[in-house]
Amino acid sequence: MRPSWTADIATMIAHNVRVDARCPTCDSSKYDIDLHVIEAAKGGDYDLWNRTTACTFTAGCQGRVHFKYMWRGGMWPRTMGD
């Protein structure tokens, strides 16, 4: 079940949700993504759920970046969409 506090970027910002990103192709990660940057580019109603983006972590990587949120009360990130 999808947590209500992951509904969109604005809601995630309001709930101080931590979002990390990882590319399984080059095995690179970025931690604590700045959701304000995404909000400025895509709008507050943009939804990261089941989204991927082209990897820019490693030059030449053709992989797709997956977003993960730190769920409340837990220590392990869950992929958005799982």
Write down the pLDDT at residue 53: 94
Residue 36 phi/psi, 5-degree rounding, is -65, -35
Write down the pLDDT at residue 12: 92
What pLDDT, in 10s, does the model give residues 40-81?
999 999 999 989 999 999 999 999 999 988 766 554 556 666
Write down the pLDDT at residue 5: 86
Which helix or strand (DSSP H or E) is residue 20 part of?
strand 19-23
| CA separation for the pair 67, 9 (Å, rounded) | 12
